[in-house]
């Protein structure tokens, strides 16, 4: 796979950068101006060569850049790999990464041999990309997103399922957080995503369960555009439970993106790399919930390193889901900014001129009206935080059978989801503001 192997995520060794875990990529030399700055497009043969090289196990951004500096093009690299003694010449490529005074790390024979093997399997690799309907966008293409091109270590190419133009939005905000989100965290992420849609921003996240999934789903339901950056290849999409969500993202005009070739599975090293792309595609990153050592905090760190804004949603000092957020705010007090509320965040993002009042989407409101008073009332109670049948019975005074019937109707319309005896809003209801829903439902329920 691209740069994730026993030699480290960049394919040139396990060295660490600024105390970060070696699971994170080290910073490569910048791509030459002629490659990233010209953006005149790429020939079909060269694009194919880059796609093949992307499938090389252990060849990461540093090694890829070193080969391009030495040989000039992907097609030349593959031709060299097929030539007599070509693998030896590839192995002798200097990466410009010093390992001692006057000594530079070389690409090495293992990666060189892998390049030769990839050249032999080029037809299979390219056929797989075509069969999955993926588009390949390289740093030499006009379609390569400008935000990502400006970071220190942009992926040389992206595999895109969906519309590549979704990566080049007028405003783009990453919404990330823990997989083990609380109901309140999911609800906040959904409301935030819906509000970002209302001001014309694209929502970027990582397609994980929890906060990521809530942000993606709410964006789609609000009629907005969202980009999912995955830590695997498209054929090995992770988590599998979000395969349907990925399809809805694409159908709504968004995109599912990876720097990894189609059949690469997720590993511990692929997600930190994925996180740098999430922040790199965004003007700002918002962390909703993150326990200690959460991957969302890696995304926040990348945002600061890339010179992007970083916002952290605070929480209770006793809440496990907020421990990482609070620690990050303390450690980066002069850089990370606190989220005091959604309207305030929209203002801090410079998008307040287009802010709409958050609440139940018109589609969700219309559906609730059609469902009648029972559906509207239970929908309201779910948004207000009643999560169990007992709580709903206590809030409404209705018989258990009536509550269960209303919940069933809401689930059938995608407005509620039940997990282990607890229910939470879904679809358009997930993005509802509790205060607005309370006043709305009192008039309609």
pLDDT tens, the chain, 445 aa long: 333 332 333 333 322 223 333 333 333 333 443 334 334 568 889 999 999 999 898 888 889 999 999 999 999 999 999 898 888 999 999 887 766 666 678 889 999 999 999 999 999 999 999 999 999 999 989 999 999 999 988 999 999 999 999 999 999 999 999 999 998 999 999 999 999 999 999 999 999 999 999 999 999 999 999 999 999 999 999 999 999 999 999 999 999 999 999 999 998 889 999 999 999 999 999 999 999 989 999 999 999 999 999 999 999 999 999 999 999 999 999 999 999 999 999 999 999 876 554 444 445 555 566 677 888 888 888 888 888 999 999 988 999 998 999 898 888 877 888 887 888 888 777 777 676 665 554 444 4
Distance CA 415, CA 371 (A): 11
190 with 431: CB under 8 angstroms? yes
> What is the separation of C-alpha 123 from the centre of its chain, rounded to a whole number of angstroms?
30
HEC secondary structure over 330-374: HHCCCCCEECCCHHHHHHHCCCHHHCCCCCCCHHHHHHHHHHHHH
Q: Residues 6 or more apart from 214 whose CB is under 8 A from it?
A: 181, 185, 186, 187, 189, 190, 193, 430
pLDDT of residue 80: 93
Short-list 1, 70, 58, CA closest to 29: 70
360 with 437: CB under 8 angstroms? yes
Distance CA 20, CA 118 (A): 31
Residue-by-residue DSSP string for 169-233: -SSEEEEE--SS--HHHHHHHHHHHHHHHHTTPEEEE---TTHHHHHHHHHHHTT--EEEE-SS-
Distance CA 65, CA 23 (A): 19
Element at 118 (helix H, strand E):
helix 109-120
Element at 295 (helix H, strand E):
helix 295-305
Distance CA 114, CA 357 (A): 55
Distance CA 299, CA 174 (A): 9
pLDDT of residue 185: 94
Distance CA 371, CA 368 (A): 5
Distance CA 326, CA 314 (A): 6
pTM equals: 0.77
In the chain, ranges of CATH 1.10.10.10 domains: 362-444
Short-list 259, 281, 104, 145, CA closest to 204: 281
pLDDT of residue 41: 67
In the chain, ranges of CATH 3.40.50.450 domains: 164-354
Rg of the chain (C-alpha set): 24
Which residues share a beta bridge with 174? 204, 285
pLDDT of residue 438: 58
pLDDT of residue 101: 67
24 with 126: CB under 8 angstroms? no
Distance CA 106, CA 281 (A): 31
3-state SS, residue 164: helix
Pick the CATH number of 164-354 from 3.40.50.720, 3.40.50.450, 1.10.3720.10, 3.40.605.10: 3.40.50.450
pLDDT of residue 409: 86
CATH 1.10.3720.10 is the classification of domain 362-444: no
Distance CA 428, CA 217 (A): 9
310 with 304: CB under 8 angstroms? yes
């Amino acid at each position: 796979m691209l740069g994730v192997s026993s030699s480290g995520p960049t394919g040139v060794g396990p060295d660490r950068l600024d105390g970060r875990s070696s699971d994170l990529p080290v910073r490569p030399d910048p791509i030459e101006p002629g490659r990233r700055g010209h953006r005149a497009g790429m020939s079909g043969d060269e694009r194919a060569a880059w796609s093949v090289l992307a499938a090389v196990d252990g060849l990461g951004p540093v090694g890829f850049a070193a080969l391009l500096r030495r040989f000039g093009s992907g097609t030349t690299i593959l031709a060299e790999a097929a030539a007599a003694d070509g693998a030896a010449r590839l192995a002798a490529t200097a990466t410009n990464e010093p390992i001692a005074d006057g000594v530079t790390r070389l690409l090495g024979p293992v990666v060189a041999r892998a390049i030769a093997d990839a050249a032999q399997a080029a037809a299979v690799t390219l056929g797989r990309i075509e069969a999955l309907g993926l588009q390949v966008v390289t740093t030499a293409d006009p379609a390569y997103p400008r935000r990502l091109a400006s970071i220190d270590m942009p992926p040389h190419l992206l595999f895109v399922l969906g519309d590549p133009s979704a990566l080049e939005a007028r405003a783009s905000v990453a919404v990330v957080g823990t997989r083990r989100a609380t109901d309140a965290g999911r609800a906040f992420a959904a409301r935030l995503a819906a509000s970002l849609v209302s001001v014309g921003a694209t929502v970027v996240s990582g397609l994980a369960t929890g906060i990521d999934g809530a942000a993606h789903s709410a964006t789609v339901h609000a009629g907005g555009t969202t980009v999912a950056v995955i830590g695997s290849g498209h054929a090995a999409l992770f988590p599998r439970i979000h395969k349907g969500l990925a399809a809805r993202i694409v159908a709504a005009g968004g995109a599912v993106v990876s720097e990894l070739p189609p059949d690469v599975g997720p590993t511990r090293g692929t997600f930190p790399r994925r996180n740098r792309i999430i922040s790199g595609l965004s003007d700002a990153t918002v962390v909703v919930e993150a326990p200690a050592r959460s991957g969302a905090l890696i995304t926040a760190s990348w945002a600061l390193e890339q010179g992007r804004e970083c916002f952290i949603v605070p929480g209770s000092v006793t809440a496990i889901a907020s421990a990482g957020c609070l620690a990050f705010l303390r450690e980066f007090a002069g850089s990370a900014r606190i989220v005091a509320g959604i309207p305030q965040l929209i203002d801090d993002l410079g998008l307040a001129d287009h802010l709409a009042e958050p609440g139940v989407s018109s589609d969700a409101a219309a559906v609730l009206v059609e469902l009648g008073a029972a559906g509207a009332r239970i929908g309201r109670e779910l948004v207000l935080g009643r999560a169990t049948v007992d709580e709903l019975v206590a809030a409404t005074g209705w018989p258990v059978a009536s509550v269960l019937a209303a919940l069933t109707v809401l689930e059938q319309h995608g407005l509620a989801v039940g997990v282990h005896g607890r229910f939470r809003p879904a679809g358009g209801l997930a993005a509802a503001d509790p205060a607005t829903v309370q006043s709305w439902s009192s008039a309609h329920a």
